[in-house]
Amino acid sequence: MLLNAVEILRTQSLPMLLEQEIQAVLLSGEFTPGDHLNEKELAIRFGISRGPVREALRSMESSGLIEQIPNRGFFVRQLTAQQAYDLYDVRAVLFGLAGKLLAERITDDGADRLSGFIAEMDTAMNGEDFDTYAKVNFAFHEFIVINAGNAALAQQYLALVKQLRLYRTRSLMHVDSMHASQMEHHAMADAVVARDPQRAQQTHHRHVEAAKERLMATATDLK
């Protein structure tokens, strides 16, 4: 619980700690886009005063996860379909580069990790276990960008993904979409394990482009 963490880290930056905890809550899906983040309720929940909560929320605006509306307070950011669509374009370029860089530096252990992710997602997909598939899917993508060896790329990419997780499209909750996505994952992993940077860049970029098209198919305000 956060309360224990606060007691342990009382001498450290409390707003920074709160940012991490509030972000985790937002990405867990407890709040939905457009929900009001009540400072008093958060302060009671975390066992602290409202000041650090307000400071943490103000700092979090730059993350793109929340927004402040004058005289109304802080709210979970609501991405429009077009905004999410635009973020996918940037994500595709970054992810393509991550795939290329990873293929140039992947180790045997790293290749085994990729294969392990693929096997876990195959099992989840075959059992129509959407929750497990989504969890491993996030870990798979995170592994790729973190191990690409470019810290600036990873930081930018992961920030984009956090924003996109607020746009709760259900495209991957359909079996056909999940199968299509997993076939793309296989192509991506095969290219990286083969140490083929050009093919890795193409398959990683294409994967995000395909995800964008799946988004467009489910977003009524893009039609």
Dump pLDDT digits (tens) for 166-211. 765 444 456 778 899 999 999 999 999 999 999 999 999 999 999 9
What pLDDT, in 10s, does the model give residues 37-75? 999 999 999 888 888 898 889 888 888 888 999 989 999
Distance CA 176, CA 189 (A): 20
The whole-number pLDDT of residue 8 equals: 45
Q: What is the pLDDT of residues 177-187, one digit of tens each?
A: 889 999 999 99
Domains and CATH numbers, the chain: 2-76 (1.10.10.10), 81-222 (1.20.120.530)
- Cα angle value 185/215/209 (rounded, 5°): 50
CB 99 within 8 A of CB 203: yes
Side by side, the strands of the sheet bearing 36-37 are: 36-37, 73-76, 66-69
Tokens in use for 70?
Answer: 């004058």
Tally Cβ neighbours within 10 Å of residue 123: 13
Question: Of the segments 80-84, 125-129, 190-194, which one has the largest average pLDDT value?
Answer: 190-194
SS3 170: coil
Task: Evaluate if residue 10 carries a pLDDT over 60.
Answer: no
**Higher-confidence residue: 131 or 8?**
131
